[in-house]
Each structure stands twice: as structure tokens, then as C-alpha cells.
Structure 1
Amino acid sequence: MEGNGSSFISGGDLKQIDNCQEQFFGGPVAPSRNSHGTHTSTHSAISKHLDVEELEMLLEAYFVQIDGTLNKLSTLREYVDDTEDYINIMLDDKQNHLLQMGVMLTTATLVVSAFVVLAGIFGMNIKIELFNPDIAGMPEFLWTVGGGTAGSVFLYVIAIAWCKHRRLLE
């Protein structure tokens, strides 16, 4: 039934079309008329407005949870950074102790080497009265070894005191 080139839909057909639109699109798409001839689009606007409020509340709750998680992760990262700094400080302290021990051992090696040089000088095959079995030269030998040992210990103590004075050792 056409009139003036446009199709005509009766009131019952319009309600059926509105019901189909509600099923497929979740609400009336076009404004529908009730029996009094007024529009009922306010119901869908209120429904959509409530859906937006619920969505905003859900998003706000998620944002609060995400913010809390971010704060926990930031705290954990700071804790890890502090722990890493503490470990680096401890490693540096141990490294300093090892270096100091190296300085002390190197100094001891130098002093002992000086004593070995002294013993080497006296140990050469030179004819002196010290090694003559007829003459009792043992006390002189003991004084030489004792003096060399005391001198080495004295040099070591002086070297360590100098290192501590220069703040190379604690």
C-alpha cells in the first residue's frame, strides 16, 4: 500500500519492529510511541546513564587496585635497590679488606726477601772465622741470625705503621 511514493506501516507492525530492535540492539533504537502518543526514549537514556555510572565505578575500583599494585611494586623496587646498594657496600668493604691484606702480605714478602738477601750474603762460600770449626763461632752466627730476624720484624712494623699513617690500612 503506497501513498505518495512512501510505504505505510500500521501501529501493530510498528510495535513488532520495536520489539525486534530491542532484541537485537538491547533497547529501542528509534523513539517509539505508546498508546498516548508520547516518546519513551527516556527509559533507554536512564538505563544507559546507569550503565555508564556502573562502568565508572568499576573502572575506579580497578584504578584503585592498579594504583595499590603500582605502589607495592614501587616499594619493592626501592627495597631491591636498597638491598643492591647494601650488598655493593658490603662487597666494597670486603674488597678493601682483601686489598689491605694484600698490602700487608706484600710488605711481609719484601721484608722476608731482605732477610733472605742478608742470609744469602752470609751464606756464600767465603773463608771467614765464623765457619772455622776450630774457633767457636756459633754465638756470632746466632747473633747474626737473631739480629737479621729482629731487623726484619722491625722493618715490617715500621712499614705497617707507615701504611696506617698514610691511611692505606685501617
Structure 2
Amino acid sequence: MLLELLDHPQDIRRITIMGRVCSIQREDGSIECSIPLDKKNAEDEEQEIEMLLESYLQRCDSCHGQAEKLLDSAREMEDSIALNLSSRRLEVNRLELLLQVATFCSALGALVAGIFGMNLKSYLEEHVLAFWFTAAGIIFGGIGLFISMLTYLKMRRIL
């Protein structure tokens, strides 16, 4: 709006009121203004208004530039926060996968213990060392399975 006003000097002339003689017509309510004989005052006023409008335009441009910078800064901050949250989410997913692998390995050990804990005769109950070998086999088998699955996941770059 300010640019349009500055591009048309006749609009600036209409704005100036100093030294004008204006009268309102009673019939139709229109306003008629006449330019005074002292054109120097009118031209000075026009120049002053034009300078004020240019000053306002510069301030508007400055405010617009600052608003654009703040908006860009806010967008960059939003992108940075989204990236940080994505990184955290990936860490949580990796930990969740690691816990799921550990749970799977311990569940297999529980399966073996459940099979041997059934009330069936396998003749291993009579030997004391059979319990210790079975317990050690379950523990070392679970650890070995966990390590092999962890190695596989790291080799496939999943974890």
C-alpha cells in the first residue's frame, strides 16, 4: 500500500491538508478543496509526507525482514528438535530389540526347564550330576544363543 501511494504523487497531494480551503456542499455532501495560492507550503508539505511514507516503508521492510529471519530460525529449531527426537526414538527401539532378544533366549531356557520338570520318568532324576549338566546347558545355551543373535543383528546392521 505504501509503495502504491509513493508511486502516485497525486495521491500524496490528496493527503496534504495544510493550507487548503475545503468546503462541504450541502446538496450532495461532497467535499471540494482548493489549493492555496502559496504553492511553496503545499509542496513542502507534500515532500514531508513523502519522506514520512518512505520512512514508514523502510521500517515495514525492516520488520518484515526480521520476521522472516525469526520464522526461518523457528523452522530450523523445529527440524533440529524433530531430528533429536528421531535419534532418541531409534535408541529406544534398539534397546527394545535387545530386550526382546534376551527375553526370547530366556524363554527357550524356561521351555527346556519346563520339559524336564514334567512328571514323567526320564531316568535323569536319579542322577545328581544330570541336574547340574542340564542347568549349565540351559544357561550356556541361552547365553550362546543371545550372543549369536546379537552378532547376527549387528552383522545385518539392525542393531
TM-score, structure 2 as length reference: 0.75
Q: Does 1:154 align with 2:154?
A: no
Runs of 4+ aligned structure 1 residues displaced above 3 Å come to 22-26, 28-31
Whether the 8 Å CA contact 2:105–2:142 is kept in 1: the answer is yes
Match of 1:123 among 109, 117, 123: 117
Amino acid at match of 1:140: A
Q: In 2 relative to 1, CA 30–95 (structure 1 residues): closer, same or farther, beyond 3 Å?
A: closer
Write the distance in 2 (CA, Å) between the matches of 1:55 and 1:30.
Answer: 16
Structure 1 vs Structure 2 CA RMSD: 2.2
Match of 2:63 among 69, 82, 100: 69
Whether the 8 Å CA contact 2:21–2:34 is kept in 1: the answer is no
Q: Does 1:54 align with 2:48?
A: yes
Identity %: 27
1:1-170 aligned within 5 A: 24-25=21-22, 29=34, 41=37, 43=38, 45-132=39-126, 137-169=127-159
Whether the 8 Å CA contact 2:112–2:138 is kept in 1: the answer is yes
In the comparison of the two structures, how many residue pairs are matched? 132
Deviation at 1:128, TM superposition (A): 3.3
Write the distance in 2 (CA, Å) between the matches of 1:30 and 1:88.
Answer: 63
Whether the 8 Å CA contact 2:109–2:139 is kept in 1: the answer is yes
TM-score, structure 1 as length reference: 0.70
Structure ranking higher on relative contact order (CA contacts 8 Å, 6+ apart): 2
Amino acid at match of 2:140: A
Q: In 2 relative to 1, CA 46–124 (structure 1 residues): closer, same or farther, beyond 3 Å?
A: same
Runs of 5+ in structure 2 lacking a partner? 1-18, 24-32
State which structure, 1 or 2, has the greater radius of gyration over its C-alpha atoms.
Answer: 1
Runs of 5+ in structure 1 lacking a partner? 1-21, 32-40
